[in-house]
């Protein structure tokens, strides 16, 4: 069958290889094209057999599954890796995803779990490849009808997702907000990972960690040789594009506040919506992003420390002259039974919460561990509907929508840093 999923099994234990091969032999849409006993053999066979999916054991002598997956990301980029391990610790999962694995299965797993994972990652990979093949053709045939082009139409809306306290779901909301705006509202969306030292956008979207990032973009902008920002963006199968954070923390030092603003302006020229996932602490670069944003979605939760930090941030925002409509308060996990009510939060910070997102740990964690945003895996869940409502709100908010009284305040804007 031409539409069969070609699978390469990689495990150093012969009995496991044989068992998996026999198990998959009962599936009419799956063909095991080979079985490798080591990572090095897997690299050779993948190059020769061109599998769609590689079932990879994580613990192997000589070259383990993580190292093999990293090399496959460049030598066989169209092969989606499903990592297998007897250990389900978060560190193993995270390292696997950073290496480029698309799925993670904990042994022992059922035949249903195995085949479902293979079909799911294969479908996502084929969808991504078809999008990449069609997009250039559509751009040539459709011209401006195929989407926004540089300088065409009004500049897009920049939404900064920020929180003065970590651990409140900032990145999760940013990623799912972008996907909701793209898949449900038909917007051309790009996500910029503004947490330059320890960005997690790529992990949540299950993107190849070897992809280009803002660290590759900045040098070309500095010398003025940048022709198009498109080559530095990574496509996601949901239809959004991503500008990843640098692969190593020390590289983040090269990104200045001025450069961050230039990147945002370049992104807004080509997209309807730019979602920037900010870091949770103040520095000149973070403030540059907040300055450039049309809307700041400021996340908080029903915790005393989160409420205290929010109160401090609102004081800073007032000092900076941000108009009242620019800063939106988003209460995440709003229905958590923690003894603090929404009205308590509002009384403490002195203003109303603009949007609430329910707590749904099951959907969120399940999606996180599989690198599939919950808006895609469970669109009917209440948490997804809350995200969609938020997407509808922000896509209608732009720099032009500013009350007259507030717009006059921008001329008196204060600065906390000398460069501004």
pLDDT score at 149: 41
pLDDT above 90 (res 46)? yes
Q: Does residue 286 sit in the same domain as residue 201? A: yes
Over residues 71-93, the mean pLDDT reads 82
Supply 298's token pair: 């400021």
pLDDT above 90 (res 160)? yes
pLDDT score at 91: 64
The answer for residues whose C-beta is within 8 angstroms of residue 270's C-beta and 6 or more apart is 148, 149, 150, 156, 188, 190, 229, 230
**pTM of the prediction?**
0.60
Domain holding 346: CATH number? 3.40.50.300
pLDDT score at 22: 95
146 in a structural domain: no
- Average pLDDT of the chain is 81
Q: Does residue 36 sit in the same domain as residue 181? A: no
The answer for residues whose C-beta is within 8 angstroms of residue 41's C-beta and 6 or more apart is 10
Q: Which of 127-136, 207-216, 385-394 has the lowest mean pLDDT?
A: 127-136
Q: Does residue 279 sit in the same domain as residue 364? A: yes
Name the nearest CA neighbour of 181 among 395, 397, 363: 395
213 in a structural domain: yes
The total number of structural domains that make up the chain = 2
Please check whether residue 329 is in contact with residue 352, taking contact to mean a CB–CB distance below 8 angstroms: yes
pLDDT above 50 (res 134)? no
133 in a structural domain: no
Predicted confidence band of residue 337 (pLDDT cuts 50, 70, 90): low
260 in a structural domain: yes
End-to-end CA distance of the chain: 62
Model pLDDT for residues 8-18, shown as the tens digit of each residue: 999 999 999 99
Helix (H) or strand (E) holding 266: helix 257-270
Q: Does residue 204 sit in the same domain as residue 346? A: yes
pLDDT above 50 (res 162)? yes
Q: Which of 118-127, 177-186, 273-282 has the lowest mean pLDDT?
A: 118-127
Q: Does residue 304 sit in the same domain as residue 191? A: yes
Q: At 123, phi and psi to the nearest 5?
A: -65, -40
pLDDT score at 128: 62
Domain holding 44: CATH number? 3.40.50.2300
Q: Does residue 120 sit in the same domain as residue 176? A: no
418 in a structural domain: no
Q: Does residue 232 sit in the same domain as residue 341? A: yes
266 in a structural domain: yes
> Of 84, 109, 125, which closes a domain?
125
Over residues 20-27, the mean pLDDT reads 94
Model pLDDT for residues 111-130, shown as the tens digit of each residue: 998 999 899 888 877 766 66
Helix, coil or strand: residue 276? strand
Q: Does residue 109 sit in the same domain as residue 189? A: no
Is the pLDDT higher at 411 or at 31?
31
Is the pLDDT higher at 339 or at 42?
42
Q: Does residue 100 sit in the same domain as residue 249? A: no
Q: Does residue 299 sit in the same domain as residue 174? A: yes
Range of the domain at 102: 5-125
Q: Does residue 53 sit in the same domain as residue 189? A: no
Q: Does residue 121 sit in the same domain as residue 159? A: no
134 in a structural domain: no
pLDDT score at 57: 95
Q: What angle do CA 178, 244, 79 make, to 5 degrees?
A: 90
131 in a structural domain: no
């Amino acid at each position: 069958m031409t539409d069969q999923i070609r699978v390469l099994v990689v495990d150093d234990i012969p009995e496991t290889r044989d068992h998996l091969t026999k198990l998959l032999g009962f599936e009419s849409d799956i063909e095991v094209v080979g079985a490798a006993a080591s990572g090095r053999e897997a690299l050779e066979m993948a190059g020769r057999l061109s599998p769609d999916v590689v079932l990879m054991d994580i613990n192997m002598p000589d070259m383990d599954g993580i190292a093999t997956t990293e090399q496959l990301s460049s030598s066989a980029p169209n092969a989606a890796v499903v990592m297998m391990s007897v250990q389900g610790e978060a560190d193993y999962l995270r390292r696997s995803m950073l290496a480029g694995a698309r799925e993670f299965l904990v042994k022992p797993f059922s035949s249903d779990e195995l085949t479902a994972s293979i079909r799911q990652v294969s479908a996502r990979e084929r969808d991504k490849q078809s999008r990449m093949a069609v997009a250039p053709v559509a751009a040539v045939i459709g011209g401006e009808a195929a989407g926004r082009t540089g300088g065409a139409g009004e500049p897009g809306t920049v939404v900064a997702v920020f929180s003065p306290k970590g651990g409140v779901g900032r990145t999760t909301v940013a990623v799912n907000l972008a996907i909701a705006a793209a898949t449900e509202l038909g917007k051309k969306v790009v996500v910029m990972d503004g947490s330059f030292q320890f960005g997690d956008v790529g992990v949540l979207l299950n993107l190849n960690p070897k992809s280009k990032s803002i660290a590759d973009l900045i040098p070309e902008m500095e010398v003025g040789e940048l022709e198009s920002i498109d080559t530095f963006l990574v496509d996601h199968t949901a239809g959004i594009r991503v500008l990843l954070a640098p692969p190593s923390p020390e590289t983040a030092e090269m990104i200045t506040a001025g450069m961050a603003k230039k990147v945002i302006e370049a992104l807004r020229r080509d997209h309807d919506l730019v979602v920037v996932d900010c870091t949770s602490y103040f520095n000149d670069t973070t403030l540059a992003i907040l300055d450039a944003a049309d809307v700041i979605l400021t996340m908080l939760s029903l915790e005393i420390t989160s409420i205290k930090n929010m109160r401090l941030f609102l004081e800073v925002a007032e000092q900076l002259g941000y108009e009242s409509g620019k800063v939106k308060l988003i209460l995440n996990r709003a229905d958590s039974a923690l003894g603090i009510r929404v009205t308590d939060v509002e009384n403490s910070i002195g203003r109303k919460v603009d949007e609430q997102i329910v707590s749904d740990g099951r959907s969120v964690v399940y999606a996180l561990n599989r690198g599939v945003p919950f808006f895609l895996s469970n669109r009917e869940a209440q948490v997804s509907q809350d995200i969609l409502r938020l997407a509808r709100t922000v896509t209608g908010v732009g720099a032009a929508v500013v009350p007259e009284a507030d717009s006059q305040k921008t001329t008196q804007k204060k600065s906390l840093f000398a460069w501004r």
